[in-house]
Structure 1
Amino acid sequence: MNTREQKLQAFDRLLTIMDELREQCPWDKKQTMQTLRHLTIEETYELGDAILENDLEEVKKELGDVLLHIVFYSKIGSETGDFDIADVCNNICEKLINRHPHIYGDVKVTSEEDVKRNWENIKLKEGKGKTSVLEGVPKGLPALVKASRIQDKVAGVGFDWEKPEQVWEKVQEELGELQAEVKINDQDKMESEFGDVMFAMVNYARFLNISPENALERTNKKFIGRFQYLEGKAKELGKELKEMTLAEMDVFWEEAKQAQ
């Protein structure tokens, strides 16, 4: 692995290249924080995909893309005199030191839960004008991820169930309420109750130490693989899927499950 000096040299090289691109490249010169935003989100999702695939070579590449965006935003910030990359680094260093008083102070902790609880309490004290631990949850997060973050944050200040069995009972309760609305066939109430079921399931996943986002994406990939196997078999037979019966398709679906 690289030495600390080599790591610093590599980062300095990236900063130099960013300076050069900003001065000389027509595309890079035109970019603003607003134009980069959607690209940054895309790069973050690509990193997430590489992590889920456990493709470490791809993870390395995608981390570079994300790091480039961080350096790019910092370069733009330096041009307006608001902040530069040193300010960004120092800010996160100070934040980490402040939020780890059990490492850099005299606070005692006995578990990971103590650390998370302290973290959320400190964040609430740090917030300028913030009165809720939930103000730190980005509004633009996908709903599934947002539900996880909401639950993590309220749990961090003690608003939580005591054991998984209680959460599972809540899931069953919400399922019952959903079924009751399905029988009435009120679309608005069905949607509301379905949301409650999903929220409760996300909470249950947290108690089982399962990432609901990762779990669902794993199922998505599994389904895609099986369906594409089915499409391939249909093509071998010279058929369109819509020409096949469900029973015929199910044979290949079971084959795909065995192959996985």
Structure 2
Amino acid sequence: RHYEVYFETSDSLATNLLDIDNLLSLCKKQYELVELFQLHATCHYTLPEMVAYFSNKSDCRQLTASDIPIFIDRIQRCHSLYDTGLMRFAGLKRYRAAPIDLFQYDTCFRFNFSFLTLEYLLDKTFLSTNETRYTAMWFLKPTKPIISANGSEIHTSNTAHDLFIEHFYQNSKFDDGRTKISALNFMDIRIPSAMKQIRADMFFVILAISLIVGVTVIYLRSITVALMTNICVGLSFACAYFSYKIIFGIDLFPYINLMATFILIG
């Protein structure tokens, strides 16, 4: 699990992130995010960092416009191996086992950087256009728990949710006119965050269910018929969940589907 932050350009007419001003903008945000996430001791993979690496620079703040063609040439030279699936095979194998000796000495495979760049940091139009409209920043979570000054553990689902609410929700802080955040995924917290919000709104859920049952009893003038109606509606969601999870194998059951309750009862 890790922190993923996706970026695009702020200007809808100039969508290429492989521009020196955009790269320097992303570089600045990379350092800001490292501070914000408190991930100074773990790896992070970003587009400006890779451009700097391929130009033998240790800091993306040293980037110049001449570094971009070097990066493009390097990635384009390796893309034929990427298309064959060989780079992906080697990259995934490295995640599961020791590196393949043969690949350690080929620049296209060194440290998996070309694989990571093509797989995650550039969009699919790059190979034909030498441009990318979107990019991702990956910040890896520490393997060992980290305790903050107040004694609580950080880098958990709860702290990631609080971080999102405090710094990213309806906040344009990371839009500097050059690049902006287009999407986020913090440690796969979508479901935990949704459930946390549902628990916070549970009073309203109970109130809504009570009102629905009450209205159907009054409208139908029969407690038995009203209860059977609501039970049938409830069972329909069980069938829907079974179809999602078992038949179609979809892990995420959108809880907004529960809004169909009002339509069914109506």
Higher percent of residues as helix: 1
Higher-RCO chain (CA-CA 8 Å, sequence separation at least 6): 2
Higher percent of residues as strand: 2
TM over 0.5: no
TM-score when scaled to structure 1? 0.28
